[in-house]
Chain A
């Protein structure tokens, strides 16, 4: 079971994604962290997410890139947060090397397939970055197009797709009949 959860900044998507894992009743819970902690703001963001997860029994796996060779316990619930960071890390590297968008997207999608084959429930958090109506430079525009295509591919793989709006999940795809999922 693969569930894709997306939403804007501050929409409550992380809390909802965690609730899907917790309510699945699956005993082993893996949190796959993807964020490179840049500066005080990045640290604060990570601290906020850690506090949110505290006491929910997640084992944290840091995977800034290279999701395609990840190993999680068979039959666990895996929460990947988030697709945007992972894709950027795969594409631009984490400092040591650079890639290209096509290869980066392939790596991410292979990683999702692998997670799906190992975990009983995989929840992927994505970001909606596509509705501010602004014109960006060619590089940013290329990044946005590639990320949007990756999000669409992840949603296509997913059994369920949710958009979270001010903490309220809106189901766009699938049936909310698994344990843990609920209809808005």
Chain B
């Protein structure tokens, strides 16, 4: 990726390692690198999360605004993704340098969240046909160490999990306007249901094999990669009793995209998708556990806020 200088022999080394399911940093082809996640790091935002996947650093802030629903979907709210590639990551992103990459990722996210089974926009409705919440999911890429899409999707899901929407009372006035009344209690808010929110898994085809969570070096060896968006399991995002009430969950693919100049055989594609769904399941479970543990810590006042000081 950005500004990476890799010699041909280094590339061969990576390639051969993957052939033998043994990557340059010691992982197997289906292993993820260690991650650090913290939510509620931007106090101005309604929800936020920072995710660090090795060198990849993503900060997500969710802002809420009141909007008018689309006429064809009067009982649904809106969600909007915006990605900004900070020049902190690399000087190439200075000015409008990161715009293309940013657009790619935000389009991917928009598509992954588009399905009703991925994210229920009805929970954002305030007054049918008149007013709804619009979520602005702002993604800031602070450092690039490969596998941006996965990291972004994880951070977004964590930030949405962390988002609180204020309770408002809406009443229809004579003129057809809606009057909103706001509670003066800042705790008077609701959490979003984000269990089904999709995660993206990038499968990077290097040589004949596919790997998950490619590092920046591995990405530069790959000619094509596949991104699979897989819906999450709501059971992983609520307490055990609540989980038992839920139906059995089947992961669904909400988007598939391919990046890069190369091509793949159909069989490889099917295998890769399967591999992606499996990886997503595993990631989703891990994310859910981490988020629930953190929420538990907050309610028990044992959580210490680290932010960028860790």
Binding partners A and B: no
